[in-house]
């Protein structure tokens, strides 16, 4: 999907409040779409992600033979019952690393030759991390200088026991989807527990897998069966508004039907450490995913300081840009380390966070694997270079709410990758 370049002007706010129900989680929507498209039968989803990334996954699965019907209220997917149709065109994954890495695992065990392409940003992202293990299982993957375009020649696979060198839920999922289809038990080990939506979703679609501390195993081959599900609201989208609320002493924001999977909810701990008031209500489980209501308000005395390192940095990787962006407004600053992966996301998010913080007048120190943002600083409005990266555009729109003067976000259209409603909802909750 190509979206015209846009700029968005953000005026400072006096407060942030309101009550929101957010579109479905991007990570869960990708998985539900892939598994439903691969399963037997017709699955029905409500609150499916509205982001362009998940539309890329749906389009790829359609090109592989699944039937997709999207209405305003529901997304219906009829699956291929375990056997995809070889696509005659390259599969376009758009901006979505999740689509490319996870679908590769599905296709590695399918007969045929598949080509996967992506936009300029995705074509720079490392794909060796999936080529190695899939090749060890018996598929043949050809990359272009370590990146997309990539071609997969599917083959009957052999199970493996693999520890990805970098913590990655996408790589774990890729291997579980390959393992689902091959004889024997595939085990993925991880030192840091990455988001576990694939494990929960595979079980919801009827697969058996075994989990223990530090590993997950799947014994193949197994088949999947259609489900009906409501996708929980996206906590990584909520993160922008939660951080906005944390900046204003009179704020009060409520999110209902929000995904609160413990492998995704680390931000609530970080905001609590910073002094924000967080209340979680009405917790329930839907298809093994925790869902609930969250209320966020700011401490009258302002935010304190915190450090995000080690496993927490890996688990909070998508939330780090917005945490860096609010760092100047804390009293003691925000320190981020062990987050080298930020450099190979949709953009080099460390470099762009540093550049844009400096453009707004902040002092910041850059490290190879993170950044130090001292607290007690005031920022001024500036022109922000989002680098076409949705999370950078949204993070600096949040920083702009407390700046002196207006801020222009360049490449604001990129928000639609995960959260097309972002700027409208920001206007709704920001009191000016
Ligand atoms: C995702 C995993 C993370 C994350 C991405 C979504 C997923 O990527 O940054 O936005 O849905 O599995 P990695 O697996 O590369 O860490």
> Rounded to whole angstroms, how far apart are CA atoms 329 and 248?
10
Q: Does residue 170's CB lie within 6 angstroms of at least one atom of ligand 1? A: yes
Query: To 5 degrees, how large is the angle CA 120–CA 122–CA 123?
Result: 60
CA of 138 to the centre of ligand 1 (A): 25
Confirm or reject CATH 3.40.190.10 for domain 26-229, answering yes or no: no
Q: Does residue 169's CB lie within 6 angstroms of at least one atom of ligand 1? A: yes
Mean pLDDT of residues grouped by 10 in the chain (432 residues)?
A: 79 98 98 99 98 98 98 96 94 98 98 97 98 98 98 97 97 98 97 97 98 97 98 98 97 98 98 98 97 97 97 97 98 98 98 98 98 98 98 98 98 98 98 94
Catalytic residue among 25, 92, 119, 318: 318
Position 417 scores a pLDDT of 98
Q: Report yes or no: 343 and 319 within 8 Å, Cβ to Cβ.
A: no
Smallest CA separation from ligand 1 atom 9, residue: 318
Q: Does residue 110's CB lie within 6 angstroms of at least one atom of ligand 1? A: no
Position 179 scores a pLDDT of 98
Q: Does residue 315's CB lie within 6 angstroms of at least one atom of ligand 1? A: no
Backbone dihedral region of 305: left (phi > 0), alpha (psi from -120 to 50 degrees) or beta? beta
DSSP state of 158: B
Position 88 scores a pLDDT of 87
Other Cβ atoms closer than 10 A to 312: 20
Backbone dihedral region of 108: left (phi > 0), alpha (psi from -120 to 50 degrees) or beta? alpha
Atom of ligand 1 at shortest range from CA of 198? 12
Terminal alpha carbon distance of the chain: 34
Q: Best substitution site from 168, 263, 311, 395 to test ligand 1's pocket, by max atoms within 8 Å of Cβ? A: 168
CA of 431 to the centre of ligand 1 (A): 33
Residue 318 annotated to the active site? yes
* Residue ranges of the chain assigned to CATH 3.65.10.10: 2-24+232-431, 26-229
Let me know how many helices (H) and strands (E) the chain has, helices first.
13, 24
CA of 98 to the centre of ligand 1 (A): 6
Position 5 scores a pLDDT of 84
What is the 3 state secondary structure string of 222-262?
A: CCCECCEEECCECHHHHHHHHHHHCCCCCCEEEEEEEECCC
What is the 3 state secondary structure string of 333-400?
A: EEEECCCHHHHHCCCCHHHHHHHHHHHCCCCCEEECCEEEECCCCCCECCEEECCCCHHHHHHHHHHH
Position 261 scores a pLDDT of 98
Position 25 scores a pLDDT of 98
Whole-structure pTM value:
0.98
Q: Does residue 339's CB lie within 6 angstroms of at least one atom of ligand 1? A: no
> Rounded to whole angstroms, how far apart are CA atoms 157 and 137?
5
> Rounded to whole angstroms, how far apart are CA atoms 355 and 191?
32
- Segment 286-319, tens digit of pLDDT: 999 999 999 999 999 999 999 999 999 999 999 9
Position 1 scores a pLDDT of 46
CA of 173 to the centre of ligand 1 (A): 10
Q: Best substitution site from 166, 169, 316, 338 to test ligand 1's pocket, by max atoms within 8 Å of Cβ? A: 169
Q: Does residue 27's CB lie within 6 angstroms of at least one atom of ligand 1? A: yes
Q: What is the CATH number of domain 2-24+232-431?
A: 3.65.10.10
Q: Best substitution site from 29, 259, 317, 340 to test ligand 1's pocket, by max atoms within 8 Å of Cβ? A: 317
Q: Best substitution site from 122, 129, 170, 264 to test ligand 1's pocket, by max atoms within 8 Å of Cβ? A: 170
Atom of ligand 1 at shortest range from CA of 102? 12
Position 361 scores a pLDDT of 98
CA of 130 to the centre of ligand 1 (A): 13
């Amino acid at each position: 999907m190509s979206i015209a370049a846009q700029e968005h002007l953000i005026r400072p706010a006096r407060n942030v409040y309101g009550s929101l129900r957010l579109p479905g989680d991007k990570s869960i929507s990708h998985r539900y779409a892939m598994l439903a498209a691969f399963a037997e039968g017709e699955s029905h989803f409500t609150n499916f992600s509205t982001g362009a990334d998940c539309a890329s996954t749906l389009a790829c699965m359609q090109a592989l033979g699944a039937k997709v019907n999207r209405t305003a209220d529901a997304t219906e997917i009829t699956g291929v019952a375990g056997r995809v149709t070889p696509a005659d065109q390259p599969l376009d994954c758009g901006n979505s690393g999740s689509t490319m890495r996870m679908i590769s695992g599905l296709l590695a065990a399918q007969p045929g030759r598949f080509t996967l392409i992506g936009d300029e940003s995705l074509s720079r992202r490392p794909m060796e991390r999936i080529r190695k293990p899939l090749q060890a299982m018996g598929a043949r993957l050809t990359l272009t200088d370590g990146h997309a375009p990539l071609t997969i020649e599917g083959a009957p696979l052999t199970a493996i026991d693999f520890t990805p060198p970098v913590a990655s839920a996408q790589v774990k999922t890729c291997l579980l989807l390959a393992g689902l289809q091959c004889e024997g038990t595939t085990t993925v080990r991880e030192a840091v527990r990455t988001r576990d939506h694939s494990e929960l979703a595979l079980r919801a679609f009827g697969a058996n897998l075994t989990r223990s501390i530090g590993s997950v195993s799947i014994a193949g081959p197994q088949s999947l069966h259609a489900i009906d599900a409501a996708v929980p609201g996206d906590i990584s989208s909520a993160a922008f508004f939660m951080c906005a609320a944390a900046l204003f002493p009179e704020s009060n924001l409520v999110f209902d039907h929000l995904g609160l999977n413990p492998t995704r909810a680390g931000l609530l701990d970080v905001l609590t450490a910073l002094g924000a008031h967080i209340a979680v209500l009405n917790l329930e489980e839907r298809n093994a995913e925790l869902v609930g209501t969250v209320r966020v308000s700011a401490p009258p005395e302002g935010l304190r300081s915190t450090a995000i390192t080690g496993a927490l940095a890996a688990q909070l990787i998508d939330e780090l840009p917005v945490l860096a962006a609010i760092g100047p407004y804390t009293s003691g600053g925000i320190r981020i380390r062990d987050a080298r992966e930020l450099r190979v996301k949709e953009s080099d998010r460390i470099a762009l966070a540093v550049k844009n913080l400096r453009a707004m007048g902040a002092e910041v120190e850059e490290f190879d694997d993170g950044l130090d943002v001292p607290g007690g600083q005031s920022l001024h409005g500036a022109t922000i270079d989002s680098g076409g990266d949705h999370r950078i555009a949204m993070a600096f729109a949040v920083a702009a709410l407390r700046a002196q003067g207006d801020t222009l976000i360049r490449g604001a259209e990129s928000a639609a990758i995960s959260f097309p409603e972002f700027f409208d909802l920001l206007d709704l909750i920001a009191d000016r």
